[in-house]
Every structure is written in structure tokens, then in C-alpha cells.
Structure 1
Amino acid sequence: MREISCKLLVIGAGPGGYVCAIRAGQLGVDTVIVDPAPPGGTCLNVGCIPSKALIHAAEDFHRLHALTPGITATGTVDLAQVMAWKNGIVTRLTGGVQGLLRKAGARLITGTATLRDGKTARVATPEGEVLVRAEAVVLATGSEPVELRTLPFGGKVISSTEALALAEIPARLAVIGGGYIGLELGTAFAKLGAQVTVVEAAPRILPQYDDALTRPVLARLSALGVRVLTGARAGGLSPRGALRIATDDWAEEIEADRILVTAGRRPRSAAAGIPGLDLDMEGAFLRIDAQCRTSMKGVYAIGDVTGEPMLAHRAMAQGEMVAEIVAGLPRAWDKRAIPAVCFTDPEIVSVGQAPGDGTLTGLFPFAANGKAMTEAREDGFLRITARPDTHEVLGIQAVGAGVAELAAGFALAIEMGARLEDITGTIHAHPTRGEALHEACLRALGHALHI
């Protein structure tokens, strides 16, 4: 067995892992990163990036049939060609990550790691086993789709991974789960021509967001012909292959060519021999401190395996921080807010605190925004929450077409401790959707101009 030594071993090359390895390499830390799949993890290979490509393609096709008055067009969908284009984007990005790792001096090993203890791991590679000895280890094993006992994956029952590799558009698609993954993909396939039914056990879709933010999404789903069943439980398949669903009051069977199960994701905390380390846990997640240290000295954990929010950008920030800690720099987790973006139609962005008792709130509807009018997408609004005494911004939320691109500005305002007056004193370009932030702040201060 070949043996290699390094200062830092990163297990998992997803967004958190590869960022950690790149930053560690930049700082002169001898780094090895291991993953059986191409670098980028779920997000780049079978999640964030390919799903956004599919969403974009679906929107392009949908707009051919819902264009500005006076413009007509026709078109067809070759899903195989769309998927090939999507795969090309993934290949470019995974190749780019490999190049960045090489440039930083980090060694990438394609294989499956199994920890022997907190400083050594066996890696099964196509060329044979490699024993890696390290001074520090970062666990970045990520997460995986939750499988339902009554609907195990296989045949017509698929996860988001298989949904992003379909060669044909299913005529009838049932989506189990009305969270962001199910609604993003369900909306995309509805725009591509599928008859979509969403089954959600909670009383409403996107239960992590407040009702005001989700109402425009629900209205848009209805306009797209998507049937949404809330308070409904998915059972197994009937003898003829139909999906059984039930509420407290009724039951029915839904005919579906594909059944997409998006019932959440679970951490891979049992992967890579992690249980053998006997680390402290918080439920199914690894317990970490403000520096992403686990209960074992020299072992760190980042990303989805450490808990909510299970977001790629959180993992990236953690990975960068841990690399600098291993390099001897003074770092700790001091993020005030982590943006959450739902790429439904319309999109939802939430950063920081939602409105509550004792907070100051300003809301501006996109129906009063010139740019939204010119795009024929006036649904939604932007809302800001602040302290009533100091006017410090506590949270910003928005629902509307294209609002995902405003997320960075929202997070920046909160991270820098901006006050409402700081934002109103900033000249916002016209005509843009970003003007809604200026107007919402003016409204919170009691002197709105355009509403």
C-alpha cells in the first residue's frame, strides 16, 4: 500500500471541501483532498448548477409561449440536447476546480476515504489503496437525498439527481415535497410541458418562509397549471403503478410517469468511517464549535454534515475559515447572516430576521416598480426590517422575478450594520428592481416617494 503524508486531509470535494483545500494550498499548507466523484460535490455536479441550467432553459421555452404583447414565436424542446448543454457547463466547472486545486498546490485523489482514526485514512482508488497520514482532518462529506420507506428510489421513483439527467420530459410528473428543491424542479418541468402535481405534507408550500413570501409563488404555480396538494401524505404505489396520496379527509391515486421525491436531505455523517471516531453529535449532524472543530482534536467538520442551513455558500465560508485556522491565522465564525435563495418562480430571497413584534418594517411592492412593469413581472415585493430605536437593519426579504441577484446587497447591508438612513442615503440606479430596497427603507421611515 502506497503511503503519503500531509498537513491537512480534506475528505469531500464539494463546495466546502474544495474551497478549504484551495485556500489551504494558497497559504502554503500541504493539502490532500479526496473524493470519489469529480470535484464540486452535489452542488456543482447534480444540484445547484445543473438545476439552475434546467430552470433557465425551461424559462426560455416558456417565454416563447408567453411573450410581450405583439410578439409571437413557436418552439420545441429537445431535452437530450438541453441536458448535453447542462452537462457541458458542469464539465467546464469541475475542470476549473481541478485547475484551481493544482494551482494552489493541493493534491486531489479520486477515491473513497475510510478513516482509521483522527489522523489516518485508507483511500480506495482505481490504482489501489493509499494510506494518507495527516496532522489535521476536515470532514466535508455533505448530504444526500432522503428516501421514503414507501417510495424507495428505483424505476419511476427518482431523486433530484435522476431528474436532472432525464432524456425525455415526463408527460405527468408527481413531486413529493413542496420545499425549494421540489418546487424549483417541478416548476421547470411544468414550463417544459409536463403536467405537474406537488404533494406537500405541511399545511402550505415552502414552510421555512412566511406566508407573505410564498403566496406569489403559489399563485404562479396555479397560473402554470401546477396542482398543489397541501396537508397530503404520499403513500406507496398501487398495483397499477399509481401514486397513493391521502389527507385527513380524502384519498386518491395519481397517475404519474415519474415520481420525484424531494423529502429533504440528510447528512452523510456515517460516511468515510466517521462513526468510528465517536464524535459528539447534534441529532444526525456533527457537533462543531465557532471554529468548526469537532470533539476530537485536529478534526474539523464543515458544510451539510454540520447542520442547517445546508447551503453551499455556508460550506464555502466555513472551508475558507478552517483553512486559515490550520495555517495558524486567528479566525472564528462571525457571520451575522447567511442568505437563503429559493429559485422558484418568482424567486425568494431571505437574509436575517423576519418582521416581528417590536420591529420596524417597510414593504415596497414590485407592482410600483418601473423595471418590473417593463418585464411584465410585477408580482412580489421587497421587505426590510430594522430596530425601531437605532434603525439598524435586521433582515431583508424579497419575492419577485430575478430577486436572487439582490441577495449579495442584502447580506452586505446586514453584515456591515447598515441603518435605514445608510440605504436611503445611497443613490440607487433607475430603472432597476434594486430601487425597491431604497423605497422600502423610505417607507419604513415614514416618507415613501413612489407609493
Structure 2
Amino acid sequence: MQNFDVVVIGAGPGGYVAAIRSAQLGFKTAVIEREFLGGVCLNVGCIPSKAMITATHLLHKAQHNFKDMGLNIKGNIDVDMKQLVKWKQSVCDKMSGGVSQLLKGNSVTVLKGEAEFKNSKEITVKSSTGTESVQAKYFIIATGSRPIEIPGFKFDEKDIVSSTGALAWDQIPKRVVTIGGGYIGLEISSYLRKLGCEVTVVEAQASLLAGVVDPECAQVVTRKLDKSGVKIMYGAKAKGQKKGKDAYEVTVEINGKDEVIKADKILVTVGRRPNGDQANLKAAGIAVDERGFVKVDAQRRTNVANIFAIGDIAGQPMLAHKASHEGVLVAEVIKGHNRVYDAKTVPAVVFTDPEIAAAGMTEAEAKAKGFTDLKIAKFPFGANGRAVSMMETEGFVKMIADAKTNILLGVHIVGPEASNLISEAVLAIEMGARLEDVALSIHPHPTLGEAMMEGAEATLGHAIHIIQKPLTSASKSAHA
């Protein structure tokens, strides 16, 4: 029997952060992980997908932009997929190794195996070497989520795959059908297309990323996908598949009629489900809702006083950075700090081409919360010198503010480096900044960040670097 002050179940971006902070605060801490340190995000999700996206973005620029820049490459660029996957894995291994060193450096005990609750004070850890019991004063559940599997498309992670399998292909498939036009499916589909793969996206909704991002941002990405040759089927439902002589035959229902699409690989990305049915939570008396999420309060405490839950298992949004934030929060709550989860916004990023990033409310959300008088405007990257020099001018910065106070309510970016630019918006919204605060802050030139300043100027109605129609009413948009 091992005894600890704090035991964290799951070493993903929520769990390992919770363990490190707990140890920093003086607790004897252990983290239990059944697969790999860093979890899904670091090993088979966020990090490897961004490595592949980065590589194919460079490939695309070399194939399509270099000649205009006077950079002539003789012959074709050959893609060594095995080497690309090897490099991608080296990135993951480096990051996972870093997590291991951080845990070791903070004196966190790492236990390999599958954790199951016996009661609210004790768990068992099963591994290849046997089973041991572990007791703790406090437990933090950070067991994450898994891909949703749909009928007729059982994962083998070779031909019918989740994102995990798709990121491991060491040969470029000729034809791929992606079921689900959400952010995971579109990110992978985008880089597969740049590798020369024929991609068909089967989307049940009438548009891509519906309800996920600002509709105008989604339109920019949709146009780029269309231009790149990705075929998108809207209002479509994948009904089943069978292995044909030379390919899989995927049956898709669209407009009441069945259509068969041939594919070498099938990627299913229809969402993720929380792992609320694992770790024998019932034995500890932990309440789980009908969707599989563990019920938590503002301190991420479950209905059992000494047990907390963070990350995907604790509810939407199911994002790594939200999990990390909660990990620090819970460790400090256990220590006795006066903290609750009170983030005004959790930023979201879609690493498509171009990128989409958002913080705060959309126009529809602002109106639903009673902000009926709004100032809304966009500043295009086509008017930004840095974007022009990068040959990446698609997209814009869109700002939404309360017309009565000019307080910033939402920022939506589609364009180059949107993922990096959004952090300024997060800080502004958290601090209750007004449009003037952003507009009057001097931004360095020439940078993409200037689009934030110019976006605020445009929303105030006096943009400098675009010809803007005068604002006739504070509730109307000021578009270029």
C-alpha cells in the first residue's frame, strides 16, 4: 500500500499540470497514467497534428509561392512520408520526455497502469507487473475523453481510423473520406490534401464548423478548402461501408438518396466522448451525468468532498488549455487558496488553412445575453503589410463590442497566425478592456499584430488603412 496526499489519475495536459502544482505546494503527489505522459494531446492529438500541419504548410508554400518570390526549385519536391512521420514522432517524444523530466524534477511519483476506485479514499493500479493499492487524502480525476465511434465504422486504426490512426499513416493514401466536418476532421483533411490526397468530407450540417466558430470565419476556410480541391458533401450522413475489390465503398445518404464514394482510408471525426464510464467512479460515489461528464462545482470538486475532476471529463469546452488551467486551480483549492473557475473566456483555435481563433462571444451569443446594441467591424489581412509580405492575405480580424460602453465582448480571427494573435484578445476580454484600450496601444510595425489595433480602430469607426463607410448607427457593422 502506497499513501499520498494527492493522487492524480491521468497524465494529460490537465493531469500532469495538476500533479506538478500539487507537488510545488508541498503535497506528496503521485500521477497515474496507463498509456503515455502528456496524454492524447501531446502524443496522438494536438502536438503531432500541428507538426504535420506545419510541414505541409511549408510544402505548399514551396510548391505555390516560392516561384513568385524568385526562389526556384529544380524538379519536384519528394515527400518521404516515413521520414515525415518519424520527425513528427520525434517532436512528440521530445515533449513527452520533457513532461517526464518536469514530474521528476518536482518529485512527483509516476505510477504506470490502469486506475480503479475501490472507495473514495483508495484505488487500485493494475499494470503488467501486477496490482497495487494506493491511498490518498485527495484525488484529481483527469481521465480525458476518447473518439466517438459510429455504427458501421469500427476503428481498426489502420484503414478505418480516428485522428490517432490518421496521424500514424506512413504512406500517403490516394483517397480519403472524412466523416465529420468539425475542427479535427478539417485540420487533418487540409494537410492530407496538401500531400496530394483526394479528400471528401461528409458533413451532416449545412455548413462547416456550424456553431463552433463565427460563420464569416468559417466561410473563409470553406472557400480555401474548395479552392484546394477538397470535396465537401453537406447535409450528408454516412450509413455504412464495405470492403470492395480495390477500395472501401462508403455509402452516404444525401438529399434522401444514397451515394457511394470509394476510398482507400476512412477517417471518422464526429466528436469525442468523456471517459466517465472508466476508473470505476461509481465505487467512490462520484456523480456522472447522462453524457458521461463528472459533475463538478466552480472549484472542480465532485459530489465527493475529497475528489476533484478536471479537463475533458469535467465538461465543455474539451480543450487542453482549459484542462491545464483547471489543474493549477484544483491544486491551489486543495491547498486552501480562495480560487474558483471564473474565466471570462476560453480561447479556441482551429488549425485549418487559414487558421481560425476566437475569444469571447459571437454576435449571436452577445445578443442572446442582452447586448442588443453592438459595434462590429472587420479589418482584412489584405491591408496588413506583414501578411502581404508573407503572401497570406486571406481573412480578417473581427471585433464585437458593446456600443454603450465600447467594452470588448468578442474577437474572431481568420488568417495567418490567428492562433498566436488571439492571446491579446483573451487578455483584453479578461481585463474588461474597451476598444480604445486596444486601439491606443502602440503595436509594432510591420507585424500581424497590427491587425488587432486596426480592428479596434475599425470597430470605433475610424480605420486608417481601409476605406471605411461612416457608422450610421452604433448597432450597425462597419465593414470595409
Q: Following TM superposition, by how much is the alpha carbon of 1:64 offset from its aligned partner in structure 2, in angstroms?
A: 2.1
Question: 1:179 maps to which residue?
Answer: 182
Q: Which letter maps to 2:379? A: F
Question: Does residue 28 of structure 1 match 2:36?
Answer: no
Q: What secondary structure is seen at the aligned counterpart in 2 of 1:147? A: coil
Question: 1:220 maps to which residue?
Answer: 224
TM-score (norm 2): 0.91
Q: Distance in 1 between matches of 2:411 and 2:257?
A: 39
Question: 1:170 maps to which residue?
Answer: 173
Q: What secondary structure is seen at the aligned counterpart in 2 of 1:64? A: helix
Q: Following TM superposition, by how much is the alpha carbon of 1:125 offset from its aligned partner in structure 2, in angstroms?
A: 2.2
Among 375, 392, 397, the alignment partner of 2:407 is 392
Q: Following TM superposition, by how much is the alpha carbon of 1:439 offset from its aligned partner in structure 2, in angstroms?
A: 1.1
Q: Which letter maps to 1:347? A: E
Q: Which letter maps to 2:441? A: T
Instruction: Please show how residues 6-405 of structure 1 align to structure 2 within 5 Å.
Output: 6-68=4-66, 69=68, 70-73=70-73, 74-154=76-156, 156-207=159-210, 208-238=212-242, 240=244, 241-284=248-291, 285-355=293-363, 356=367, 357-405=372-420
Q: Following TM superposition, by how much is the alpha carbon of 1:8 offset from its aligned partner in structure 2, in angstroms?
A: 0.6
Question: Does residue 445 of structure 1 match 2:460?
Answer: yes
Work out whether residues 246 and 252 of structure 1, in 8 Å CA contact, stay in contact via their aligned partners in 2: yes
Q: State the Cα RMSD in Å.
A: 1.2
Q: Distance in 2 between matches of 1:378 and 1:249?
A: 39
Q: Distance in 1 between matches of 2:285 and 2:269?
A: 30
The answer to which of 37-46 and 278-287 deviates more is 278-287
Q: Distance in 1 between matches of 2:283 and 2:136?
A: 17
Work out whether residues 286 and 294 of structure 1, in 8 Å CA contact, stay in contact via their aligned partners in 2: yes
Q: What secondary structure is seen at the aligned counterpart in 1 of 2:224? A: helix
Q: Distance in 1 between matches of 2:177 and 2:108?
A: 43
The answer to which of 334-343 and 381-390 deviates more is 381-390
Q: Following TM superposition, by how much is the alpha carbon of 1:72 offset from its aligned partner in structure 2, in angstroms?
A: 3.1
Q: Distance in 1 between matches of 2:151 and 2:226?
A: 30
Work out whether residues 214 and 412 of structure 2, in 8 Å CA contact, stay in contact via their aligned partners in 1: no
Q: Deviations over 1:56-92 (max 9, x none)?
A: 1111222221024133323111111111111111111
Q: Which letter maps to 2:263? A: A
Q: Following TM superposition, by how much is the alpha carbon of 1:387 offset from its aligned partner in structure 2, in angstroms?
A: 1.4
Q: Distance in 2 between matches of 1:59 and 1:142?
A: 30
Q: Distance in 1 between matches of 2:111 and 2:300?
A: 24
Q: Distance in 2 between matches of 1:17 and 1:329?
A: 19
Q: Which letter maps to 2:72? A: T
Work out whether residues 288 and 294 of structure 1, in 8 Å CA contact, stay in contact via their aligned partners in 2: yes
Q: Which letter maps to 1:406? A: L
Q: Distance in 2 between matches of 1:119 and 1:192?
A: 51
Q: Deviations over 1:266-322 (max 9, x none)?
A: 000111111333433333211111100011111100000111100000000000000
Q: Which letter maps to 1:256? A: A
Q: Distance in 1 between matches of 2:3 and 2:171?
A: 47
Question: 2:470 maps to which residue?
Answer: none
Work out whether residues 373 and 404 of structure 2, in 8 Å CA contact, stay in contact via their aligned partners in 1: no
Q: Distance in 2 between matches of 1:273 and 1:29?
A: 25
Q: Distance in 2 between matches of 1:251 and 1:126?
A: 47
The answer to which of 434-443 and 60-69 deviates more is 60-69
Q: Following TM superposition, by how much is the alpha carbon of 1:362 offset from its aligned partner in structure 2, in angstroms?
A: 2.2
Work out whether residues 139 and 306 of structure 2, in 8 Å CA contact, stay in contact via their aligned partners in 1: yes
Q: Following TM superposition, by how much is the alpha carbon of 1:123 offset from its aligned partner in structure 2, in angstroms?
A: 0.2
The answer to which of 222-231 and 245-254 deviates more is 245-254
Q: What secondary structure is seen at the aligned counterpart in 2 of 1:286? A: coil
Q: Distance in 1 between matches of 2:269 and 2:436?
A: 42
Q: Distance in 2 between matches of 1:359 and 1:10?
A: 44
Q: Following TM superposition, by how much is the alpha carbon of 1:210 offset from its aligned partner in structure 2, in angstroms?
A: 2.8
Q: Distance in 2 between matches of 1:276 and 1:257?
A: 44
Moved over 4 A (4+): none
Work out whether residues 203 and 235 of structure 2, in 8 Å CA contact, stay in contact via their aligned partners in 1: yes
Q: Distance in 1 between matches of 2:10 and 2:199?
A: 35
Q: Distance in 1 between matches of 2:99 and 2:214?
A: 37
Q: Which letter maps to 1:150? A: G
Q: Deviations over 1:169-191 (max 9, x none)?
A: 10001101000000000001100
Q: Following TM superposition, by how much is the alpha carbon of 1:13 offset from its aligned partner in structure 2, in angstroms?
A: 0.4
Q: Distance in 2 between matches of 1:193 and 1:148?
A: 27
Q: Following TM superposition, by how much is the alpha carbon of 1:252 offset from its aligned partner in structure 2, in angstroms?
A: 1.2
Q: Following TM superposition, by how much is the alpha carbon of 1:239 offset from its aligned partner in structure 2, in angstroms?
A: 5.8
Q: Distance in 2 between matches of 1:128 and 1:195?
A: 47
Q: Distance in 2 between matches of 1:321 and 1:223?
A: 44
Q: Deviations over 1:327-366 (max 9, x none)?
A: 2222111211110000000100010011243222121111
Q: Following TM superposition, by how much is the alpha carbon of 1:156 offset from its aligned partner in structure 2, in angstroms?
A: 1.9
Q: Which letter maps to 2:117? A: L
Q: Distance in 2 between matches of 1:175 and 1:401?
A: 25
Work out whether residues 369 and 433 of structure 1, in 8 Å CA contact, stay in contact via their aligned partners in 2: yes
Q: Following TM superposition, by how much is the alpha carbon of 1:39 offset from its aligned partner in structure 2, in angstroms?
A: 0.9
Q: Distance in 2 between matches of 1:377 and 1:403?
A: 12
Instruction: Please show how residues 403-422 of structure 1 align to structure 2 within 5 Å.
Output: 403-422=418-437
Q: Distance in 2 between matches of 1:248 and 1:193?
A: 29
Work out whether residues 200 and 232 of structure 1, in 8 Å CA contact, stay in contact via their aligned partners in 2: yes
Among 3, 6, 30, the alignment partner of 1:5 is 3
Work out whether residues 65 and 72 of structure 1, in 8 Å CA contact, stay in contact via their aligned partners in 2: no
Q: Distance in 2 between matches of 1:279 and 1:6?
A: 20
Q: Distance in 2 between matches of 1:385 and 1:113?
A: 46
